[in-house]
Amino acid sequence: MDVRIGITHSMRELEVELPEGADREAVKADIAAALADDNGTLWLTDKKGREIAVPVEKISFVELGSGDAPRNMGFSV
């Protein structure tokens, strides 16, 4: 599963590829819990075991996608 996070005052998004078999509902619950605290931090662990922390105050959006979908490259529509 892929998680894409928009960061305020940044033109780029943070993309995190979660390990295979990650429970979508558990990830959503973790994100919701982090976003409920204005001074909180969203912690995610990617498929390589790296831990990523994002201050909640800097998050503009969070998008959950499936890791199975093909990725478009270039100027595709």
pLDDT confidence of residue 38: 87
pLDDT at 28 over 90: yes
Average pLDDT over residues 35-57: 94
Question: Is the domain 2-65 a CATH 2.50.20 member?
Answer: no
Average pLDDT over residues 2-29: 94
Residue 62's DSSP bridge partners are: 5
pLDDT at 36 over 60: yes
Residue type, 37: D
pLDDT at 52 over 90: yes
Instruction: State the Cα–Cα distance between residues 1 and 30, nearest whole angstrom.
Output: 14
What does the domain layout of the chain look like in residue ranges?
A: 2-65
Contact 40, 56 (CB under 8 A): yes
Instruction: State the Cα–Cα distance between residues 47 and 56, nearest whole angstrom.
Output: 22
